[in-house]
Amino acid sequence: MDYVSELKKLQRKHDFFIGFDSDGCIFDTMEIKQKECFCPAFIKHFGLQAASKYAREVWLFVNLYSKTRGCNRYLAVQRALQLIGEWSVFIARDIYMTNIPSLDAWIKEESKLGIPALKAKVAASGDEALAKILAWSLEVDVRIKDMVFGVPPFPGVRESLAQLQGKADMIVVSQTPVEALTREWEEHHIDHYVDFIAGQEAGTKTEHLTLAAKDKYPAEKILMIGDAPGDFKAAKGNAALFFPVIPGEEEKSWERFHQEAIGKFFAGTFAGAYQQELLAEFDRALPEHPSWS
């Protein structure tokens, strides 16, 4: 499927538009995916067994407990390698990590940072470093398919989606592969609430919102809901509103959204002081620098 073209074709049916991140926002899947799927495969493929304790700390900081939470998996590798190279505990264990120039170049040139694009790049270039990253990425998806199921939406999600149905056009905006997204939304019977499921194959989250909503709805009637700074970046890149699902306070966030934020969004009182209050709370929730630095 040409996901970009399909996003562009989406028709405005209501006056309002909402984009939802999925992992860590709709579903409590961030912890299990990162701890049981991404991180073990990262340690395996990058030869970090001798410092697995510290490698795990780096990986989880990058992907769960800092302002890079929820970033694209290849950006996560890039950031994790940088932090590993800067931390002396790895050098003390004869592990010397540096950036991967071919990864840096691919990230810079490619807008759709997903497995299809990486497969094509590896096939065309024969680059061994990218081939290793591809092998890691493929194993991650195998692990996720095998491990991640039976994780329902956060309390308050179903009620919110039902309240929004018929009042706003809604899509999924995520950097997870669309196959996994579709499987999870269908498993829990909430896929019928959204008009489209956009994953990493359709580009960045900012591009998802641009393709689906920009110039179709007034900016004050576009809302992005997410649990990571990248979600806010996508909203900001489209001059849209943003509701944060605070990491560690997801149930409270969804209760607030259902009981308070939905009404303000439809009433046109979300922007301004209320939005700033939410953003300040969100900014305090995640650090920028690791404790070991």
In order along the chain (293 residues), what is the average pLDDT of each group of 10 residues?
A: 90 97 96 97 98 98 96 96 97 94 97 93 97 98 95 97 98 94 96 96 94 95 96 96 97 98 98 97 95 89
170/95 Cα distance (integer angstroms): 46
Radius of gyration of the chain (CA): 19
153, with CB counted inside 10 A (0-12, 13-18, 19+), is: buried
The residue to which tokens 């769960």 are assigned:
64
Which residue reads 């700074």 in tokens? Answer: 229
Per-residue model confidence (pLDDT) at position 1: 77
* Dist CA 49 CA 100 (whole Å): 19
Among the listed residues 246, 235, 193, 252, the one whose alpha carbon sits nearest the alpha carbon of residue 65: 246
pLDDT of 3 reads 86
Homologous superfamily in CATH for domain 3-28+153-285:
HAD superfamily/HAD-like (3.40.50.1000)
Closest alpha carbon to 256 in 185, 151, 154, 170: 154
For residue 217, the cross-strand partners are 214
State the pLDDT at residue 216. Answer: 96
Q: Which residues contact 237 (CB under 8 A, 6 or more apart)?
A: 206, 209, 210
Q: Is 240 helix (H, G, I), strand (E, B) or coil?
A: coil
- Residues forming beta bridges with residue 169, ordered by sequence position: 17
Distance between CA 229 and CA 126 in Å, rounded? 34
Structure tokens at 247: 């990491």
pTM (2 decimals)?
0.89
Which residue from 223, 264, 226, 266 is spatially nearest to 245, judged by alpha carbons? Answer: 226
- Portions of the chain given CATH number 3.40.50.1000: 3-28+153-285
- Spell out a b/e string for 227-238, using b for 16 or more CB atoms within 10 Å of the CB, else e: bbbbbbbbbebb
